[in-house]
Amino acid sequence: MATNPETLEIPKPRWIRVRAPASPEFARVKKLMRAKKLATVCEEASCPNIGECWKHGSATFMILGSICTRACRFCDVASGKPKPPDPEEPQRVAEAAAAMGLRHVVITSVDRDDLPDGGAAHFAATIRAVRARLPESTIEVLTPDFLRKPKDALETVIAARPDVFNHNVETVPRLYRRVRPAARYYASLRLLERAKELDPSITTKSGLMVGLGETMEEVLQVMDDLRTAGVDILTIGQYLRPSKQHLPVARYWTPEEFAELEKAAKKRGFAAAFCGPLVRSSFHAEEVFARAR
């Protein structure tokens, strides 16, 4: 009987191991999120760094609910029919960020293809609410691609003046149909390019996963594409399979290979590059932004 590669499990190497979250600060952050009725990508996407980040009082807010209108084959966020945006959510995010004493606030969302503007106005409202509550803090947004939405969707977000505009390309072009069937690689590139055109002073950022079957040459080409689009910060991490319903890991890249990727990114002129097995887009976001500046 032939073996289905989609069901194969490759043992995790030693450098992937993470400790279970168990600290007083972790419990405090979790309690705060429940009290404010907020979602975080840390929980919804099963981030392996949740213990470390929450231990240090940091979290990535996920606005517009916890139900995504897409079903990317790498992502653990639930998909389906989401509820209408909560008009009180921006203020609750600002209150939670203030309670946590955040100096760098990271805000992301699920994809909301059901909304006319893809959720852009809600992003802008959240940025303004956080800015009013924490005027000295920097703000980073990680947005969807606003695919097939009016051009002013991106303009709405940029006009709210986030310090960092982040949108992840996630993988190499050849794997898009398999990994991100509802997305388009060159649309994501153009989104990043337009963000810089709309506000040349903004720091742009993107990231991708490795371990889905891409080659080193393909990853290097993505780096070149991102630099051509004017992207300032790059993050690269190892894809980890959330469940057996998701794509399997094709292979685990070694720490030495990640070091090679980071070296290649710096050679290409990225203001900052953060590459490693457990790196995620918002992992140590404050420090990476400071490095870029």
Mean pLDDT of the 84-111 span: 95
Name residue, tokens 């153009």.
190
Q: For residues 106 and 58, give the distance between their C-alpha atoms in angstroms, rounded to a whole number.
A: 9
Query: Tell me, what's the pLDDT at 158?
Result: 98
Is residue 201 pLDDT above 50, yes or no?
A: yes
Of the listed ranges 112-121, 149-158, 273-282, the least confidently predicted one is 273-282
Q: What is the mean pLDDT of residues 230-242?
A: 96
Token digits for 81?
Answer: 């029919």
Specify the amino acid at residue 38. L
Q: Which fold has domain 23-292?
A: TIM Barrel (3.20.20)
Question: Is the Cβ–Cβ distance between 69 and 146 less than 8 Å?
Answer: no
Q: What is the mean pLDDT of the chain?
A: 91
Residue in the structure block whose two tokens are 């590669």: 5
> Under a CB-based contact definition with an 8 Å cutoff, are residues 283 and 18 in contact?
no
Domain positions in the chain are 23-292
**132: number of Cβ within 10 Å:** 11
Q: Considering only 48-62, 66-80, 163-177, 233-247, which range has the smallest mean pLDDT?
A: 48-62
Please say whether the beta carbons of 204 and 195 come within 8 A: yes
- pLDDT tens digits, one per residue of 108-151: 999 999 999 999 999 999 999 999 999 999 999 999 999 999 99
